[in-house]
Structure formats: C-alpha cells, structure tokens
Amino acid sequence: MDTDRKPVLKENERIDDLQRNGYQIIQNPEKFCFGMDAVLLSGFVRVKAGSILLDMGTGTGIIPILLEAKTQAAHLTGLEIQEESADMARRSVALNKLEDKIAIVNGDIKEAGNIFGAASFDVVTCNPPYMIGGHGLANPDAPKAIARHEILCTLEDVVAQAAKVLKPGGNFFMVHRPFRLAEIMVLLHNYKLEPKRMQMVYPFVDKEPNMVLIEASRGGKPRMQVEKPLIIYKEAGVYMPEIYDIYGF
C-alpha cells in the first residue's frame, strides 16, 4: 500500500490543514466541522508525558490529533457515537500516519465505563453538547444537532463516565458554556471530580464570556485556580496573540 496516497474523500468532504506538525483533518461542512472551542480546549489541557488519554465525543478526532501534536501522551483514544464522524476520524488518523498513537472507537459516552473499564485513563477530555435537550429541533437526528444538543447524552452522563474511567488523581478537562456553570460545579462535586482550574473565554474584552474551560481532578483536594480571562479577538477578524499561539499560526 502506498502510505503517501491521499485518502479517498466522500461526498462534500475536504482536507483541512491543522497548522501543527503538518497534520491534516478530513471534514464535511455539510455535517459538522470542529470549532474554536475544541482548539481552545486543546490549548487548556495539560498532559504529562506517558499519559493515556480519552476524548469523549471526539467527532472527527480533532482533539486527539491536536493533543498528539502538542503533548507527549503515550496513547490517545477518541470515542464517538456517530459512525460517520468516527469513520472520518479514523481516516484522518490514517492520513497523518498516527494509527500507533490514536485509536477511534465507535461507541456511546454513556457506556464508556463498560467499553474501557474503570480507572483506565490518566486524562479525559470532552467538548460535549452545550444545549439542553433537542425538543423543537427540525431534525434531531442530524449530526449538527447531536453535536450541539443533549440528544444522545447529558452533562451528567459525561461527568459520571469521566469519573468512572479516570484513574485516581487523573484529570478531566472540559469546555462548556458559562450559563451552565453552577450545574457543572455541582455535578463535578457529586462525582468526586474536584475543580482545580477554570478560565473564562470572552469573544471581545467588553463582551460577556461565551465559553468556560474547566479542569477537575478525580479525588483531588478542594482548591481551584481561576486563570486570567482569555480574550479571542483584538478587533473584528483579528485574534489576540494568545489565540494565534494556541492555533499555532
């Protein structure tokens, strides 16, 4: 087999450059493309050398691929319930010749503990659906709806399964929306994932935050560091220097 051969793209798919290690990713804008939240999460995550990592709801595999480029993790697994997305993720892993470092598993977040076993990972990451429920959606089975709305899993499902598959002292990293921060903190506490770091993300310096990045430790002691705000844009269309650093431009 010619390992340099480009993958066969399916209808409406394209290959995007990730600006990291020459890596690329296959995406379908008709279905779902990764957003800034995934990139910011990859910049917030701290991974010790040799760690075993799980990304829950990996979509097209953006977070494992970026974290393979940015960290010295020993192995990364992406769990994705939508077979079409999982297939794109597998082909992106192969495109970047990362089959020895990244595995893509087609499965349900709610079954993560059964799929992988308890205390299997040093690090768990998740960019979960932000919106509660899918009532009123024209097509709740659409990939974009499933990625954005709690149709196939809830926030509690995510937190509960992260707590189950993390080793004691392991770390959970998540990006979410500030309007659900109280709920997030209560769930983390209930599942013995102690919040350790938090960073609010603002589109502009004079706007309200629209994302929150959180790190929690399984069985950690109560003490949380609130990091300085992360501002996305200096002005319309111009990122702040920190954002260029995260993207790798």
CATH of the domain at 50: 3.40.50.150
**Tens-binned pLDDT, residue by residue, of the chain (249 aa):** 444 556 779 989 999 999 888 999 999 988 888 889 999 999 999 999 999 999 999 999 999 999 999 999 999 999 999 999 999 999 999 999 999 999 999 999 999 999 999 999 999 999 987 666 655 554 555 655 555 655 578 899 999 999 999 999 999 999 999 999 999 999 999 999 999 999 999 999 999 999 999 999 999 888 999 999 999 999 988 999 988 888 875
Which residues are 80's β-sheet partners? 106
The pLDDT of residue 1 is 40
One-letter identity of residue 125: T
> How many Å apart are CA 218 and CA 147, to the nearest integer?
26
Tell me the CB-side half-sphere exposure of residue 208, using CA atoms within 13 A. 4
Q: Is residue 193 part of a domain?
A: yes
Q: Is residue 3 part of a domain?
A: no
Q: Is residue 216 part of a domain?
A: yes
Q: Is residue 2 part of a domain?
A: no
The pLDDT of residue 20 is 87
Give the range of the structural domain holding residue 84, as residue numbers without chain letter.
14-247
> How many Å apart are CA 27 and CA 61, to the nearest integer?
10
The pLDDT of residue 2 is 47
Cα dihedral sign, 121-164-42-188: negative
Q: Is residue 66 part of a domain?
A: yes
Q: Is residue 8 part of a domain?
A: no
The pLDDT of residue 117 is 97
> Would you say 167 and 122 are in contact if contact means Cβ atoms under 8 Å apart?
yes
* Residue 12 region by backbone torsions, left for phi larger than 0, else alpha for psi between -120 and 50, else beta: left
> How many Å apart are CA 13 and CA 26, to the nearest integer?
7
Q: Is residue 199 part of a domain?
A: yes
Q: Is residue 45 part of a domain?
A: yes
Residues belonging to the chain: 249
Q: Count how many domains the chain has.
A: 1
Q: What's the pTM?
A: 0.91
